[in-house]
Amino acid sequence: MDAMRATTRDEEGLKRRFWDKLRRVAGRIPFAEDLVAAFYCATDPKTPSRVKLILLGAIAYFVLPLDAVSDLLPLLGFADDAAVLAAAISQVASSITEEHRAMAREALGEAVSKAG
């Protein structure tokens, strides 16, 4: 829990680790668009603080190397990340706008074109 608190306080470090990990795993996670949309919502200055805190907590869980289920396990590795993200999004879904989702699709498209 202390690691998650420290991670959410270091917003620049969290952003860097988020994009680094996303580039490595985007093709293996079916919830990539939701994750990136949540990221854009969490970093949007118009987003309420409570929503930012919830989403940053879920993003920090995704980024942290210590998971309940190791991300290296095939099929199961990201199940806990998906569950945490789904729980967070269910609490703040109305704050994630179509603009956040469009930015997520664009970012993922760019990531795929750079990888291929």
User: Which whole number is the average pLDDT over 19-33?
Assistant: 88
What integer pLDDT is reported at residue 72 of this predicted model? 55
pLDDT digits (tens, 9 = 90+) for 28-59: 889 999 999 999 999 999 999 999 999 999 99
What integer pLDDT is reported at residue 115 of this predicted model? 52
The pair of three-digit structure tokens given for residue 44, joined into one six-digit string? 């949007």
pLDDT of 97 above 90: yes
What integer pLDDT is reported at residue 24 of this predicted model? 83
**Alpha-carbon gap, residue 72 to 35, rounded angstroms:** 19
pTM across the whole model: 0.80
